[in-house]
A and B are shown apart, each in its own frame.
Chain A
């Protein structure tokens, strides 16, 4: 009875605080709601009122759903900003002595008080967002899609809000909370990227990974990376995701919710023990401050060190100079960022000396990270894999450099052009257009030549780029290992200490060759040889040796690689929009399913070929299809086709696949006839 009465009173207190907080946030939530309404429903309504014409003028012939999707990114930016603004207003009562006197003396448990504040903020942030998504859904005529976008935005928003709440409990002032929140959101991704580098170095057989600063994060970061501790970035990334059914969204949501829960529980525990006498005194709990200072200093140090060492080393052949630049700039970066953030926290220079251990920790950690990741202490750059364990080796070069010229002597002309021209010439010429471009790929820090083929309706057929040289004979692999051993030996002689890891060997210069060892278990290990560190003539000498070997000559083949389409999705956004709105009818799905089945039956016993199109076995022929609009099919199997836009078919065993393609080619809108040709 007593317990029921007590819980009822707590409930009453909770509701009382909720109403009080909502009342205080009324004007702010009105501003927030109006901005959201203007950005989405209002713009959609204008487009509709203009009978579509307005939308076409404004959005380059995009459909209403496309307008929703593009404006949803703006919504996510607004949400990002208002998470901070609303939270700052909400939790400011915990950051002011006078207001603390009021709220903390009210007859309500501390946990209930925090919960009511937390729920208030959540309601103020989420409800207008839901309303906007709902109205937009009604205007678009596709409520489900709009609500899917809304739902996808909830976990990172929740995480961002929970993190602010946690920091609000730890900090004594609004300013310190906001500064800490921003500092974590900006510097954490940088640091996390460096740690990922460390992890990749430790993990044998993972795909290659290079640290390339923020560009890498922005172009290649998976949702896990963004959502782990950088909620702001998570919100932005999430808004760009097209569907909750996307496989990457699942861990994204799970991680966001888990971390939000951790933040919330942590905040409640700390709030119960919070010493209110420290309000208005910077930090109530000192540890977060120390962590933030260390993370910020460390991240800036590592990032500035990496960037500056690459930029200043120039054309050196020894890692020692780069290392020295790295050490100098990372320490400088650490110190400068430490001074800046400490001065901000201390509102001036006082107390900097007191907190000097934080700086020391940053510098030491920075050097430890360097030692672990860059010197080769623990990485695998000093040895060549055992030939017995290697299934095959592929050799790639960055384009238009000395190394690729050497390989071109063996490979002949650029096959990408040949293939695309053959495709178009072999069919209806008036049906195609080409788009040629050089594309900088940030992940590998290299430039690729692309030829993209479109039909007159702007559907993308295919894109061709890069080249691959693959060796699966043990003697060839031994030749590659010899290249590795000799180059490493030479490098070690020139650089007896303080060596860089394999990651550094190519990130500074696009002029490199890449050797990828594919093991029997499917894992891949990459080794890069950049002209920054290795003498070009020596590299070419060994490359010549590999290419002129008997086994190579006998088994030489060329295949075209095709990407997963991610990069081109960005480049040809408008065209995508046309595709994405195309309705998928039954025949398309049937076609795709049959195609998958036939393809598997023909030759795809090794399912990994789908993951790495460049690693197909014994490919010497090309078939092309036009599956761009099949991207909308969510099946993982089908998506593998949709992304590539092109199939690489081995010389034998593609009859069934060809039959399926021929069967459906005339039934599917815009699909050309299937062309098959050997390119050996």
Chain B
């Protein structure tokens, strides 16, 4: 389990992370989403040991991660822009990983190279952005880490490869109880993959929940009434967002769907419909609630 306790990280005057506390259970896929500059990549870099937090402590399997190779053997980080030296081929980069990671599997490396159709003797820097990312994923998965940290992993991958990556990750989680922390703006892909979500904004964690419960907590209610509702009529609901055009109301409401439905019905709607939100919609709603919406940005 990854235990992130009260960590802060500043870059000069900018607070990238501010007293962040979160626990990531073993064998889960934890999706990190958030606004630009919310601290997603910073958190991943701290987890992988690239950065050190200014304050707070992170333990992985109850061991402090600070300059601790024993912990880092269990972790692998694929950054948003993977680095390969000028002369590196897939094959000789694999040698470095083999030397570094005790659980490295040549068998898996061959399998994945084949699956991604990688030319292992070609210089990596001559490959396309998407191919380079596939190389990074191949190397990371072949290292058989217990914890995998992925930053914007789907960027530059075509839809087929995305599916392949997701399938591979799910396979690893199922077979080897791998824990994946993945930061991305591609909420559609995360929705398929993650079981836990963390919403970051301005260095803080807005919310952290299981994806299912997150989805079951927020609903879009479309309701039409015979006449406009008085302002206090909707107050008993935990409304995240409300828009109305005449007598037609569109509400984003947090809570139990049965409770929400029964209350709306008590207001005698002409028409009512409750829809679950996509992850993207949940994200936008939560961000709006935190003051991060288009109107505020334009203002």
Listed stretches B94-102, B171-179, B232-240, B261-269; interface member: B94-102
B28 in contact (CB, < 8 A) = no
The distance from the CB of A676 to the nearest CB of chain B, in whole angstroms, is: 74
- Kindly identify which residue among B9, B45, B76, B83 contacts A96, using a CB–CB cutoff of 8 Å: B83
Also in contact, A13 and B75, with CB within 8 A (given A20-B96, A24-B87, A275-B51) = no
The distance from the CB of B90 to the nearest CB of chain A, in whole angstroms, is: 14
Measured between beta carbons, the chain B residues less than 8 angstroms from A96 are: 83
Measured between beta carbons, the chain B residues less than 8 angstroms from A275 are: 51-52
Listed stretches B64-72, B181-189, B290-298; interface member: B64-72
- Asked if B72 and A27 make an inter-chain contact with CB atoms under 8 angstroms apart, the answer reads no
Measured between beta carbons, the chain A residues less than 8 angstroms from B113 are: none
Measured between beta carbons, the chain B residues less than 8 angstroms from A12 are: 99
Q: How far is the CA of A380 from the CA of B269 in the complex (A)?
A: 105
A472 in contact (CB, < 8 A) = no
- Kindly identify which residue among A6, A27, A112 contacts B70, using a CB–CB cutoff of 8 Å: A6
Listed stretches A99-107, A406-414, A477-485, A497-505; interface member: A99-107
Measured between beta carbons, the chain B residues less than 8 angstroms from A109 are: 67, 69
Q: How many residues of B contact A (CB 8 A)?
A: 33
A26 in contact (CB, < 8 A) = yes
- Asked if A105 and B52 make an inter-chain contact with CB atoms under 8 angstroms apart, the answer reads no
B77 in contact (CB, < 8 A) = yes
Measured between beta carbons, the chain A residues less than 8 angstroms from B69 are: 6, 9-10, 13, 107-109, 112
- The chain B residue sitting closest to A97, CB to CB, is B81
The distance from the CB of A285 to the nearest CB of chain B, in whole angstroms, is: 15
Measured between beta carbons, the chain B residues less than 8 angstroms from A112 are: 69
- Asked if B50 and A104 make an inter-chain contact with CB atoms under 8 angstroms apart, the answer reads yes
- The chain A residue sitting closest to B77, CB to CB, is A105
Q: How far is the CA of A292 from the CA of B100 in the complex (A)?
A: 38
Also in contact, A106 and B100, with CB within 8 A (given A272-B67, A276-B51) = yes
Also in contact, A98 and B11, with CB within 8 A (given A23-B92, A27-B87) = no
Measured between beta carbons, the chain A residues less than 8 angstroms from B95 are: 16, 19-20
B56 in contact (CB, < 8 A) = no
Q: How far is the CA of A574 from the CA of B52 in the complex (A)?
A: 61
- Kindly identify which residue among B83, B96, B101 contacts A99, using a CB–CB cutoff of 8 Å: B83
A277 in contact (CB, < 8 A) = yes
- Kindly identify which residue among B79, B98, B99, B102 contacts A102, using a CB–CB cutoff of 8 Å: B79
- Kindly identify which residue among B72, B83, B86, B99 contacts A19, using a CB–CB cutoff of 8 Å: B99
- Asked if A105 and B99 make an inter-chain contact with CB atoms under 8 angstroms apart, the answer reads no
Q: How far is the CA of A102 from the CA of B82 in the complex (A)?
A: 7
A244 in contact (CB, < 8 A) = no
The distance from the CB of A114 to the nearest CB of chain B, in whole angstroms, is: 12
Measured between beta carbons, the chain B residues less than 8 angstroms from A6 are: 69-70
B85 in contact (CB, < 8 A) = yes
Q: How far is the CA of A276 from the CA of B50 in the complex (A)?
A: 7
Measured between beta carbons, the chain B residues less than 8 angstroms from A19 are: 95-96, 99
- Asked if B99 and A110 make an inter-chain contact with CB atoms under 8 angstroms apart, the answer reads no
Q: How many residues of A contact B (CB 8 A)?
A: 34
Q: How far is the CA of A23 from the CA of B86 in the complex (A)?
A: 11
- Asked if A110 and B77 make an inter-chain contact with CB atoms under 8 angstroms apart, the answer reads no
B48 in contact (CB, < 8 A) = yes
- Asked if A9 and B50 make an inter-chain contact with CB atoms under 8 angstroms apart, the answer reads no
B130 in contact (CB, < 8 A) = no
- The chain B residue sitting closest to A18, CB to CB, is B99
- Asked if A16 and B82 make an inter-chain contact with CB atoms under 8 angstroms apart, the answer reads no
- The chain A residue sitting closest to B42, CB to CB, is A277
Also in contact, A13 and B87, with CB within 8 A (given A101-B45, A101-B77, A104-B50) = no
Most buried by A among B69, B76, B81, B98: B69
A15 in contact (CB, < 8 A) = yes
Q: How far is the CA of A275 from the CA of B11 in the complex (A)?
A: 10
Measured between beta carbons, the chain A residues less than 8 angstroms from B81 are: 97-98, 101
Q: How far is the CA of A275 from the CA of B9 in the complex (A)?
A: 11
B99-133: which have CB < 8 Å to A? 99-102
- Asked if B67 and A110 make an inter-chain contact with CB atoms under 8 angstroms apart, the answer reads yes
Measured between beta carbons, the chain A residues less than 8 angstroms from B75 are: 105, 107
- Kindly identify which residue among A10, A16, A101, A277 contacts B83, using a CB–CB cutoff of 8 Å: A101
- Asked if A24 and B85 make an inter-chain contact with CB atoms under 8 angstroms apart, the answer reads yes
- Asked if B85 and A9 make an inter-chain contact with CB atoms under 8 angstroms apart, the answer reads no
A339-369: which have CB < 8 Å to B? none
The distance from the CB of B54 to the nearest CB of chain A, in whole angstroms, is: 9
- Kindly identify which residue among A16, A26, A98, A101 contacts B99, using a CB–CB cutoff of 8 Å: A16
- Asked if A98 and B79 make an inter-chain contact with CB atoms under 8 angstroms apart, the answer reads yes
A8-42: which have CB < 8 Å to B? 9-10, 12-13, 15-17, 19-20, 23-24, 26-27
B208 in contact (CB, < 8 A) = no
- The chain B residue sitting closest to A10, CB to CB, is B69
- The chain A residue sitting closest to B76, CB to CB, is A105
A95-152: which have CB < 8 Å to B? 96-102, 104-110, 112
Q: How far is the CA of A106 from the CA of B79 in the complex (A)?
A: 12
- Asked if B99 and A15 make an inter-chain contact with CB atoms under 8 angstroms apart, the answer reads yes
- Asked if A26 and B79 make an inter-chain contact with CB atoms under 8 angstroms apart, the answer reads no
Measured between beta carbons, the chain A residues less than 8 angstroms from B191 are: none
B210 in contact (CB, < 8 A) = no
Q: Encode A276-304 as 1/0 by CB contact (under 8 A) with B.
A: 11000000000000000000000000000
Measured between beta carbons, the chain B residues less than 8 angstroms from A13 are: 69, 99-100
Also in contact, A101 and B50, with CB within 8 A (given A9-B73, A107-B101) = yes
B156 in contact (CB, < 8 A) = no
The distance from the CB of B1 to the nearest CB of chain A, in whole angstroms, is: 19
Measured between beta carbons, the chain A residues less than 8 angstroms from B100 are: 13, 16, 106-108
Measured between beta carbons, the chain B residues less than 8 angstroms from A107 are: 69-70, 72-73, 75, 100-101
Measured between beta carbons, the chain A residues less than 8 angstroms from B79 are: 98, 101-102
B276 in contact (CB, < 8 A) = no
- Asked if A277 and B51 make an inter-chain contact with CB atoms under 8 angstroms apart, the answer reads yes
Q: How far is the CA of A16 from the CA of B99 in the complex (A)?
A: 5
Closest 8 A/B residue pairs (Cβ): A16-B99, A98-B83, A107-B72, A101-B79, A105-B48, A107-B73, A105-B77, A107-B69
Further 13 A-B residue pairs, CB within 8 A, beyond A9-B69, A104-B49: A6-B69, A16-B98, A24-B88, A26-B87, A97-B81, A99-B83, A101-B83, A104-B50, A105-B77, A107-B100, A107-B101, A272-B67, A276-B51
**Interface residues of B, Cβ cutoff 8 Å to A:** 9, 11, 42, 45, 48-52, 67, 69-70, 72-73, 75-77, 79, 81-83, 85-88, 92, 95-96, 98-102
12 cross-chain CB contacts under 8 A: A16-B98, A19-B99, A20-B95, A24-B85, A97-B81, A98-B83, A102-B79, A102-B82, A104-B48, A107-B69, A107-B100, A112-B69
